[in-house]
Structure 1
Amino acid sequence: MNTTTAFSAYQLGDVTLNNRLVMAPMTRNRALHNLPNKLMATYYTQRASAGLIITEGVSPSPNGLGYARMPGIFSEAQVDAWKQVTEGVHSRGGKIFMQLMHAGRMGHGLNIPQGARILAPSAIAAQGEIWTDQEGKKKLPVPQAMSKGQIEEVTIEFVTAALNAIEAGFDGIELHAANGYLLEQFLSPHSNKRTDEYGGSIENRIRLVLAIAEAVSDAIGKDRVGIRVSPYGVLGDMPHYAEIDATYTYLANKLNDLGIAYMHLVDHSASGGPEVPVSIKRSIREEFTNTLILSGGYTFYRAEEDLASGFADLVAFGKPFISNPDFADRLRKGFPLNIKLDASTLYTSTAKGYIDYPVFEEEMVNA
């Protein structure tokens, strides 16, 4: 098999990527007090051989902080702290986008600052529990239904966050409209029961996502903006609905009109979620003519096939980048992968299971 496509350079907007392998955004919960730190800088710098790194979800506002130890990008201290991350990645020739994620109803009062609120399109609680460092697992609360003023405010928050990300040295941003967080909460008729211009029809349910994508593009440039979607995903209590295909096909069409840099489509079937039909992937591929990133359970050989055929422009990998900080280098050099992943340390607060996985040369020395 010809395995050169994955390691060819790729032009993503104004950014030239060294290869077509993307490090997918993954929650790691190391941001004590919601502030990026040296540990996080080391983690991302170690993985700079990826063509593109997309960070874990970063909140654009205090209201968007859903999880314990989730980083933010809404204060001057956070902007300054993120600079050590971007400087580290860039020092090794890497490129990095910040994923902007507002958790919406997927949060808890113990995980947000005093005065912040759990907001969502409608006052409908998601089923399930969420971890809090103070009291362990807690039932997800009923969120406050957003007023029109709050919807306008959240758009401004995303714009400010995007500008802050660029100030911190990021090459661009990804809007998180997947996995049951705020933007997907607006897309789904199960979590969005509004009767105003933001609810009901497909056109209304995608209105906020498009407004934010357009406003952020105007602020930092459309070539620096991507978006992640998860049609058929069920994370965050997102049941399927009859208009899934129509919703995402129409959204792709409208995002194409905006001319943003990429769409990032995730399929969670490899981790036990429902499979995303190939038909909707093809529909999005047809409607959206800029860069398409596909992710979810890829092997390198299947990634190469989809890249070589043009079905995907970039392919994102998640967990392999955790246990293989030099994942892209290992693939390029034909080195074996470290498949040992310590799941117990995925969401803790320490260096263990975070920055202590070895690169291949270290393994050889220590063997």
Structure 2
Amino acid sequence: MHLERVAVVGLGYVGLSLSCALASKGFKVIGLDKDYEKVRMIEKGLTPIYEEGLDKVLGEVLDNGNLKLTQSYEEMINWTDICFICVGTPSRPDGSIDLSYVEDASRMIGKCLRNKKKYYLVVVRSTIPPGTTVNVVKKVIEEESGKRLTDYGLCFNPEFLREGKALQDIFNPDRIVIGCLDETSGEALLDFYKSFHGDNVPPVLVTTPTNAELIKYANNAFLAMKISFINMISQLCQNLPGADVKVVAEGIGMDKRIGREFLDAGLGWGGSCFPKDTIGLLKFGESIGVRLPILEATIEVNDSQISNAIALAEKLVGGVYGKNIAVLGLAFKPGTDDVRESRSIRLVEKLIERGARVRVHDPKA
């Protein structure tokens, strides 16, 4: 099955990076976003986000015609063979996940599929709670389209991108996880990735959508836990003469079972994924009667890091009131302009509350 014309719904960090990567490999891509100003900006070759190398690739795929943009679902579905849903799944005030954007996209896709004669594959990339592909996306698409699974395909295919290295992770992923409801859907998406990666197809895990959805959440929760663990150890080191958390992390990371990545002590984890996904998984557990105490502790340690940093500063300089303090870095991590859930911004706010005079600098944010 040749799926050469690709639709991408949602042109944020995940969707725009995917669109440009696919178009750079020769696929014909049409991207859709509800934000008119964002679409106009991208059409001019301007990226609404900072991602290393993305502006260059965007310019190339616009120039050669492999990427075009629209705000019409009908045009998008009629023109393509496969659609990736990459819309946002923000947190509600209680920490549970708002699926309204996923539902809206599924509804519009379903309406447009009603008159589509050719087999069409829908792939969800947005991070969604376990069971959503089956109980929400499939249900909405079939209600709107009048089709059943044999008439169209549906997969959940989580992304594992690192902000700042998104293109690198799309071209050279550690693995591909495909959660499919039927064999035809799974084989169609696997063939698509074989076409994209050529001779360098990474390890592939084909499973159910529910397993794939949980893999994504568990993956992010585990990485957040590693960061909170080393931050907990850093508290020991700060109160233990002669101890250096960097050396301890190096020694731990030399164990192949653990690895060195995500063992850097600091203000804690932020960004658009870890805070949302850890609390989202916690809330999902509550919804099915399962408590996740290790995840609770992971969040608790992270929440304490800013207070710990200020306490250390006060200990070193005798209080921060009236002090001139520089904060280097405002994004949630280096190499990006993303300030969502930035720990640095929270630190600055707390320092100002305590009467410090704060100056900040970030080369990207």
TM range (shorter): 0.3 to 0.5
Larger proportion of helix = 2
Structure of larger gyration radius: 2
TM-score under structure 1 length normalisation:
0.32
